[in-house]
Amino acid sequence: MPRRFTFTGRRAAAAVATAALLLPLAACGEDGTAKDAGASKGSGTPQANLTVLAAASLTDVFKTAGAAYEKSHPGTKVTFSFAGSQELVAQVGQGSPADALVTADTKSMDKVKADTGTPAVIARNRLVIATGEGNPHKVDGLKDLADTELKVVLAAPEVPAGKYSQKILDAQKITVKPVSQEPNVRAVLSKVDLGEADAGLVYKTDAASAQDKVDAVEIPDAQNAIAEYPAATLKGSKNAEAAAAFVAWLSSPEAQKILQDAGFQKP
């Protein structure tokens, strides 16, 4: 016997059909945008415009890392502000709006520990002697930097690279009279690149970033210093969850590969 389709049945079917039509709209606001637009699709990470204060020696690698992060976290934009770590610390102290901080030494980070979350070292680095292309002055090691006829440039004493430089020179009892002391390590590299200095102490990764313009003279491990790069969220961030996600990502296999491909050492 054929099934009878009553009025009640037709009304129930219509209700089901209407609900089905409304389901896609339920996830949208009145303007048709997703209600959960605060989260990156598929990542579980809140969308945000992040500002990261980062040491100058991270300039090239963080541009690559930032692009990779944005690709895997749709809706999140990362903007970097690069400077010497001492300048970044001053900015944090002055209340500059930012979400995370990455310095080139732990001492700089310690100065603003009241303003940061718990830092984690994400990479290490070491110093080399940068010379003009082809090493025209035949610089062989640290001892050659004491030659008064050689124009040597160093990072300023308050800059992490300057502190590391002075540390290794003092350990070898080498006195260097620099022609200038720069506000960050990239400025040291620039002086050598432009021929305004014959040699300068920079990080290995800095020299590698300009390998077609400068030569790098290796410094033996026994005479060298290891630079550590701690990263931390800033307590004043208005994007706390997204900032924490980015800082945590810097220790992920993806970020570590980017850092190590650029010449940084494992944390």
CATH number at residue 151: 3.40.190.10
In a domain, 44, yes or no: no
Domain with 139, as residue range(s), is 125-226
- Residue ranges with strand state E in 11-113: 49-55, 77-83, 100-102
Higher local confidence (pLDDT), 267 or 27: 267
Q: Which amino acid is at 148?
A: T
Q: How far apart are CA 8 and CA 80, in angstroms?
A: 63
Domain identity same for 118 and 146: no
Domain identity same for 217 and 131: yes
Domain identity same for 74 and 142: no
Q: How far apart are CA 12 and CA 9, in angstroms?
A: 5
Query: Total structural domains in the chain?
Result: 2
Q: Is the confidence at residue 46, as pLDDT, over 50?
A: yes
In a domain, 4, yes or no: no
pLDDT tens readout for residues 74-128:
999 999 999 999 999 999 999 999 999 999 999 999 999 999 999 999 999 999 9
Domain identity same for 236 and 115: yes
With contact defined as beta carbons under 8 Å apart, do 168 and 127 qualify?
yes
Domain identity same for 206 and 235: no
Average pLDDT over residues 42-68: 88
Q: Is the confidence at residue 36, as pLDDT, over 80?
A: no
User: pLDDT at position 47, please?
Assistant: 79
pLDDT tens readout for residues 187-213:
999 999 999 999 999 999 999 999 999
pLDDT tens readout for residues 152-182:
999 999 999 999 999 999 999 999 999 999 9
Domain identity same for 185 and 56: no
Q: Is the confidence at residue 244, as pLDDT, over 70?
A: yes
Domain identity same for 233 and 164: no
Give the DSSP H or E segment for 128.
Answer: strand 120-132
Domain identity same for 210 and 129: yes
Per-residue pLDDT band for 45 (boundaries 50, 70, 90) equals low
Domain identity same for 143 and 198: yes
In a domain, 17, yes or no: no
In terms of Cβ atoms closer than 10 Å to its own Cβ (0-12, 13-18, 19+), residue 188 is buried
Phi, psi (rounded to 5 degrees) for 231: -125, 145
The reply to whether the predicted model has a pTM over 0.75 is yes
User: pLDDT at position 82, please?
Assistant: 97
In a domain, 6, yes or no: no
User: pLDDT at position 155, please?
Assistant: 97
